[in-house]
A and B are shown apart, each in its own frame.
Chain A
């Protein structure tokens, strides 16, 4: 059974800081998703990774398949980045296994 762990669970940062959110998982996967959950509850997909690195705007996601670890980086953080960031893994089926999420607060 795949376990998905995220660290830290909460993070408070100042505007402009570089932020790293970590995700580790316990079994081999076919894909890893980074998701953002807004305070109202809605979920937005940020990245889907199976290897390497992806970049979109100020967000960068990396994955190390051998170490079963992924990171989400936010450069030049802004208060509008405040949200819960969730890592979810996918094995050989359509089912996603979610981590608990990391609550990010960026203060102006």
Chain B
């Protein structure tokens, strides 16, 4: 069964360091997303990406965050200068035809710990 894969599964970093979280969406999918879940809280939308550009972003997704699809298979989330409050589980998701017409597939998540 096709799946979304994320790496690393867990990353520990020092405050102020740059972090790149990687995702390989399902190969024929066109819509890509990043969500995050701070421990004990709701899952929150960060950004959606379609046709090689950001289609929507939340207020959380400020200038410290960026996304890229560098090679047609990977979808990355970069946090330029991490803060303590960036500690969370980050989920990548993809969809073939958009989340309101097709199923969403989530990765297992990347746990980021900022010290």
Binding partners A and B: yes
Q: Which of A48, A97, A101 contacts B103 (CB 8 A)?
A: A48
Number of contacting residues on B, CB 8 A? 30
The stretch of B11-19, B20-28, B48-56, B73-81 that contacts the partner chain? B48-56
Give A100 to B42 CA distance when docked, in angstroms.
5
In the complex, whether A41 has a CB less than 8 A from a CB of chain B is yes
Assuming the contacts A33-B104, A48-B103, asked whether A94 and B48 have C-beta atoms less than 8 A apart, the reply is yes
Assuming the contacts A31-B99, A95-B56, asked whether A88 and B43 have C-beta atoms less than 8 A apart, the reply is yes
Q: Do residues A94 and B50 form an inter-chain contact, with CB atoms below 8 A?
A: yes
Q: Which of A42, A97, A98 contacts B109 (CB 8 A)?
A: A42
Per-residue contact bits, chain A 58-95, to B (CB 8 Å; 1 contact, 0 not): 00000000000000000000000000001010100111
Assuming the contacts A48-B104, A50-B100, asked whether A101 and B31 have C-beta atoms less than 8 A apart, the reply is no
Give A57 to B1 CA distance when docked, in angstroms.
18
Interface of A: prevailing SS: strand
Residues of A within 8 A of B91 (CB): 43
Q: Which of A48, A86, A95, A97 contacts B48 (CB 8 A)?
A: A95
Q: Which residues of B contact A (CB under 8 A)?
A: 31, 33, 35, 37, 41-45, 48, 50, 55-56, 58, 89, 91, 93, 98-109, 111
B30 CB → nearest A CB, Å = 11
Residues of B within 8 A of A43 (CB): 43, 91, 93, 106, 109
